[in-house]
Amino acid sequence: MFPCHMRIARPVTDLARSFQLYHDGLGLNKIAEFADHDGFSGIMLGHDSLAWHLEFTVCHSHPVKPQPSTEDLLVLYIPETSEWQASCERMLSAGFVAVESFNPYWDVAGKTFIDTDSYRVVLQNRAWG
């Protein structure tokens, strides 16, 4: 497969709140935003070093209620223990809530956090691959 950049798009209830959570918790920066484009507003968060970014959207004419399941996960691998611990603390300070994972595998070497729209982020204290 060819190199690509991935966007993970999610509807949210409050753009500003979601931006602040992920900016403060994961250190993601605003890389783009749009307002009232065909009834949608959105914000994209990422970092120059990443091959992916998050997009949060709100539909003004037909609000979409986020309905993630306990297995809809954004999993980030952080192999360095001190950085992983600091990242977990930032998540809590930002307003994420630590929860037990539905799949116990993620609790062995990681922590699961939930945001205000019930999206889950897993920080794994392991390297990928």
Per-residue pLDDT tens over the stretch 64-89: 889 999 999 999 999 999 999 999 99
- Looking at the chain, the whole-number percentage of residues with pLDDT higher than 90 is 93
Residue (of 18, 120, 104) closest to 70 by Cα position: 120
pLDDT given for residue 129 in this prediction: 84
Q: What is the pLDDT of residues 94-127, one digit of tens each?
A: 999 999 999 999 999 999 999 999 999 999 999 9
Query: Tens digit of pLDDT for each residue in 22-53?
Result: 999 999 999 999 999 999 999 999 999 999 99
